[in-house]
Amino acid sequence: MGEHVDLYLPHHVGLQPIRVLNNIALYRLIHERSTVIKLLSIAVKNHGLDPEVKLIQGNDSLKIIGVSGRMWRTPYINTEKRLEAHETFLSLLWILSYSIFVLYSEKYCYPRLPDYKTNPKYDNASERIELAKRLYRYGKQIVVDFIDWDKNELPNPEKYIVQELDYIGQTKLYYTEAYKFIMYHELIHAVEHIDKISKETDDKTKLDFEIEADEKALKILYADVHQGYKFIVKCGSVISISSAMLLSSKIKGSTHPSFIERLKMVLEFEKTNDDHFAYGFACISIELWAEQWSVDLDANDDLNDCERFEYYYSQLKNK
């Protein structure tokens, strides 16, 4: 099997393998953008937001059972005005980052390379695809019924063989950007919307708030980012939206934009020469969603990544 890397240290807080990334992800969330420090200061001073970003521990399913109000343990601002994220959601976000990255690479990206059929590094494509699908199935499991992450059998950020270092390392990049997009979205709510919303707020206003939070979160993500890194940011943003797709068969709701429109907005923001990666990630997300919820979706593998997304978009935009 090869030599194992085990990144767990006693100072890592949490019960799930995602714990080894919590400190660095939280640091990057707050300190990579001067805009974030300013927004946090405004939220704390003017809107009473608790300055601590709380990471909730627990071997809990993502679905909240037997409690009225919230349905999911997704990141949100709680009743004490504290921004919090549960480690099960963060685990799910890493699982999606790995699964989508590997499935896109092995299904679409690598087969286009000129040495694909002769280079032995691509010989295990079918096994890697199956492993990514197994990990995705585990992610679906913990949405409704938590079981432990098998660190010896399934890819994870804490324990892996040395030969997996490239896949695990790249997944960490996508995961971190997905995490930041979601948390910046919530931070925008804290600054712009928290004092404007109540039980009487109509659905149209709530929808406008969600669109605004997406757009402003993206602006923060892309601020001062090197051109060569922007495709990582875009891929991470796509993954963040796929986490919502995993929870519902509905394409759109009354208070949130449809996932297909959110994907399109993310993909068209700050165009780069490497956008095909993000379009490919979006296509994998759509295919996983359609398979999970038994949605009839016509596919065309002869199209490139951008064309394939537009083909899926044309089928889903009016549903």
- Are the beta carbons of 89 and 59 closer than 8 angstroms? no
What are the phi and psi torsion angles at 4 (to 5°)?
A: -90, 145
Q: Which of 143, 64, 63 is nearest to 96 (CA)?
A: 143
At 226 the pLDDT is: 87
The answer to whether residue 25 scores a pLDDT higher than 90 is yes
Mean predicted confidence (pLDDT) in 26-39: 90
The DSSP code sequence of 245-301 is HTT-S-S--SSS--HHHHHHHHHHSS--TTHHHHHHHHHHHHHHHHHHTT------T
Quick one: pLDDT band at residue 124, thresholds 50, 70, 90? Answer: confident
Quote the number of domains for the chain: 1
Average pLDDT, the chain: 93
CB-based contacts of 219: which residues, under 8 Å, 6+ apart?
Answer: none
The answer to whether residue 2 scores a pLDDT higher than 70 is no
The answer to whether residue 97 scores a pLDDT higher than 60 is yes
Residue 2 inside a domain? The answer is no
The answer to whether residue 266 scores a pLDDT higher than 70 is yes
CB-based contacts of 287: which residues, under 8 Å, 6+ apart?
Answer: 297, 299
Mean predicted confidence (pLDDT) in 177-181: 97
The answer to whether residue 63 scores a pLDDT higher than 90 is yes
More confident residue, 23 or 199: 23
At 34 the pLDDT is: 85
Mean predicted confidence (pLDDT) in 123-129: 90
E strand or H helix at 314: helix 305-316
Say whether 235 sits in a helix, a strand or coil. Answer: helix
At 140 the pLDDT is: 97
Residue 178 inside a domain? The answer is yes
More confident residue, 318 or 86: 86
Q: Where are the beta strands (DSSP E) in the chain?
A: 4-6, 54-56, 76-77, 83-86, 159-161
Between CA 217 and CA 211 the distance in angstroms is 10
Q: Give bridge partners of residue 55 from the DSSP assignment.
A: 85
The answer to whether residue 1 scores a pLDDT higher than 70 is no
Residue 16 inside a domain? The answer is no
Mean predicted confidence (pLDDT) in 62-74: 86
Bin 14: left if φ > 0, else alpha if -120 < ψ < 50, else beta: left
Mean predicted confidence (pLDDT) in 213-236: 93
Both tokens assigned to 167: 């896949």
Span 233-245, pLDDT tens digits = 999 999 999 999 9
Residue 42 inside a domain? The answer is no
Residue 193 inside a domain? The answer is yes
Mean predicted confidence (pLDDT) in 117-142: 93
Say whether 63 sits in a helix, a strand or coil. Answer: strand
Residue 214 inside a domain? The answer is yes
Question: Which of 28-42, 204-218, 274-288 is least confident?
Answer: 28-42
Residue 185 inside a domain? The answer is yes
Q: Apex CA 219: angle with CA 274 and CA 195, to 5°?
A: 150
The strand pair at 83-86 and 76-77 is best described as antiparallel
- Are the beta carbons of 156 and 149 closer than 8 angstroms? yes
- Are the beta carbons of 135 and 171 closer than 8 angstroms? no
Amino acid identity, residue 127?
A: E
Residue 134 inside a domain? The answer is yes
Quick one: pLDDT band at residue 305, thresholds 50, 70, 90? Answer: very high
Which residue segment(s) compose the domain that 127 sits in?
89-316
Mean predicted confidence (pLDDT) in 21-29: 93
Both tokens assigned to 141: 């499991």
Between CA 139 and CA 133 the distance in angstroms is 10
Mean predicted confidence (pLDDT) in 290-302: 93
Q: Give bridge partners of residue 77 from the DSSP assignment.
A: 83
User: How far, rounded to the nearest angstrom, does the alpha carbon of residue 280 sit from its chain's CA centroid?
Assistant: 15
